[in-house]
Amino acid sequence: MAFLIYNLSDTRTFSTGQLLQTFFYGLRMDVSMASYIVLPVCIFLIAAVFLKSFALPALYKIYTGIVLIPVLLIIFCDLPVFKAWGSRLNTMPLKYLASPNEAWASVSNLPVFWIGLFFLVSFLLLYKFFRRYIKGNINSVKIVSNKLIGFLLLLIFTALQIVPIRGGLQLAPLNQSGVYFSKYNFLNLAAINVTWNFMHSLTQHAASTENPFAYLDSIEAKSITDSLFSRQAGSSQIIDLTKTPRPNVIIIVWESGIEKGTHVTKNGREVMPRLNELKKEGIYFSNIYCSGDRTDKGIVAVLSGYPSQPTTSIIKIPAKAAKLPTLPRIYLDKKYSTSFYYGGELEFANMKSYLLESGFQDFVSKDDFDRSDQNSKWGAHDHIVKNKILADLSKKQGPFFITWLTLSSHEPFETPVSTVIKGTDDESLFFNSLHYTDSTIYDFVKECKMQSWWGNTIILITADHGHRLPQTGKQIDDFKIPLLLLGGALNTKGIEINKTGSQTDIAATLLSQTGIQQNPFVWSKDLFNNGAKPWAYFSFNNAFGFVQQDQYFIFDNVGKQVIEQNGPVTETDIKRGKAIQQESFADYLKK
């Protein structure tokens, strides 16, 4: 109920009958969770047959308080999580607790005070109710005269709890798909008991050693995957390597830099006007999709050309992430200097372990800036980092490879300059932060043009991931990101390419354009290769999307159904997406 009320704007789009179905179909999961909670009580009652201390009301009051706190905490934390990520609460947010400052910065724009207040009031009211209920019922319990009969009856009742716990007598135990009933994913998600979902996520995450996405025969999956990566010899070259044999490379990874932001205005102001200007100076790919939905997944996709995982992130397991090939390592081996810039803490989402192994020689992060410059909840704002990069580049000798991860357009969408796009709603704040970073990147490029190394440099601008805002009614739009190549080293400018591609294709594309024949990025395609097939794959929250030039679909692994599509999607198309998911996750498990 709390979920439906909190997401009232979505709830209103469905009829009363459809909403009632969420309670009906979700009942099995509700009963399952209730049985988990009741199970220890059953054990206490069995013990009470022989030990009077287990019949004391105090024990049950304490247990009630212990259970209420995490259950209510999960319920109330779930509300903003769905608003931000479009999924019910699972273990994914736990990884951010290792960086509490960044975690707080992510949620500080949410109504944390009111959520906390409702949590406290709910706990006090429910605890008071249950205390009164427990006191009245425990005092009225009559211990049966025959302890053996009492023991056996309670033992049978306890054993029978396994039936509702597993969701019935069917062969397979209950999972999330057991409560799915609608073609509308919001209704399916509403039917889920979020406490059950969170606990299930904990156990599944701990025991993930087998590929849960093995939809196809392994030989068929590999064959389909190989066909998607087929290519021809030769690529269109946008850099004259005879004049610029070792071009400098600057990658700007724009926090939440959505492609749809280039097409919208707010209060009469363009959201990303400067990027639209820069498009005229370079080569812009207008149909590119991010690999995942979080920064850690985006960084791996850009620097390692590696697809994201639907239920986890390879960056969380350093032993696996260390086996990935990386762009900075390759350029370092080619005698480039390599540096990574970020105004926040590198430890966030376990990025530091990956970056340290990836071949960067130098790191600049939050602690490298004066306290007076750490004027964002995340750390130093983008224009501060921009100035630091330019100062450092003025001292560089020889070719360099730079990666800059911006941060100002992350929640809570703070900006250190006067507000341009006014408004206190999330969309206005987000747009204003995008406008600020847009201007900062434009100023960076403008200043780069004045440097002696500009004619020998290529700049690549993309995003770490997309964003739910502005809402278009199509989830696919949340994963579309910009990809712009510009710089003095380019011999072609002012071109827009509509070829479908992925964030993971950046790695192979850069190597090809900078004349490096070595290409260990097996999950990456050269976007300028004439034979590279136009498609993109992305994953998120136990779902994946597969985009081709004339159609796309999004597939939910829980409900095992297509939840969004456009164009003529066939079973062959769905197999392609399933094959990429299956093979990429199998590769992840093997690392």
Q: How many domains does the chain have?
A: 2
Domain-ending residue, one of 206, 232, 254: 206
Write down the pLDDT at residue 375: 85
Quick one: three-class SS letters along 257-289? CCHHHHHCEECCEECCHHHHHHHCCCEEEEEEE
Q: How far apart are the first and last CA of the chain?
A: 42
Cβ-contact 508, 520 below 8 angstroms: no
121 inside domain: yes
Are 330 and 418 part of one and the same domain? yes
Are 259 and 399 part of one and the same domain? yes
- How far from 25 is each of 20, 29, 30, 388, 390, CA to CA, in Å? 9, 8, 10, 56, 58
Q: CA nearest 538: which of 312, 370, 367, 293?
A: 293
Are 293 and 153 part of one and the same domain? no
Are 300 and 367 part of one and the same domain? yes
Number of helices and strands (H, E) in the chain? 20, 15
Are 202 and 247 part of one and the same domain? no
pLDDT under 70: residue ranges of the chain? 95-110, 134-145, 171-172, 177, 204-208
- The string of pLDDT tens digits covering residues 513-562 is 999 988 899 999 999 998 999 999 999 999 999 999 999 999 999 999 99
β-bridge mates for residue 497, sequence order: 285
Predicted TM-score of the model (pTM): 0.81
- The string of pLDDT tens digits covering residues 350-389 is 788 899 889 999 999 998 999 888 888 889 999 999 999 9
9's enclosing H/E stretch is helix 8-11
410 inside domain: yes
Are 178 and 290 part of one and the same domain? no
Cβ-contact 502, 532 below 8 angstroms: no
313 inside domain: yes
257 inside domain: yes
Are 171 and 273 part of one and the same domain? no
Are 403 and 473 part of one and the same domain? yes
Cβ-contact 193, 180 below 8 angstroms: no
336 inside domain: yes
User: Six-digit token pair at 477?
Assistant: 């739009």
228 inside domain: no
Rounded Cα gap, residues 315 and 300, in angstroms: 8
Work out the widest C-alpha separation in the chain, in whole angstroms.
Answer: 98
Are 199 and 247 part of one and the same domain? no
Cβ within 8 Å of residue 213, ≥6 positions away: 310, 557, 578, 581, 582, 585
Write down the pLDDT at residue 215: 97
590 inside domain: no
Q: How many CA atoms lie within 13 A of 38 on its CB side?
A: 16
Domain-ending residue, one of 500, 532, 564: 532
Rounded Cα gap, residues 294 and 60, in angstroms: 42
CATH number of the domain where residue 365 is located: 3.40.720.10
Are 123 and 188 part of one and the same domain? yes
Q: Which long-range contacts (CB under 8 A, 24 or more apart) does 200-203 make?
A: 200/175, 200/176, 201/90, 201/91, 201/92, 202/91
Are 341 and 410 part of one and the same domain? yes
577 inside domain: no
- How far from 405 is each of 339, 344, 362, CA to CA, in Å? 11, 9, 14
Which domain range does residue 378 map to?
243-532
Domain-ending residue, one of 515, 532, 549: 532
Write down the pLDDT at residue 144: 56
Are 165 and 252 part of one and the same domain? no
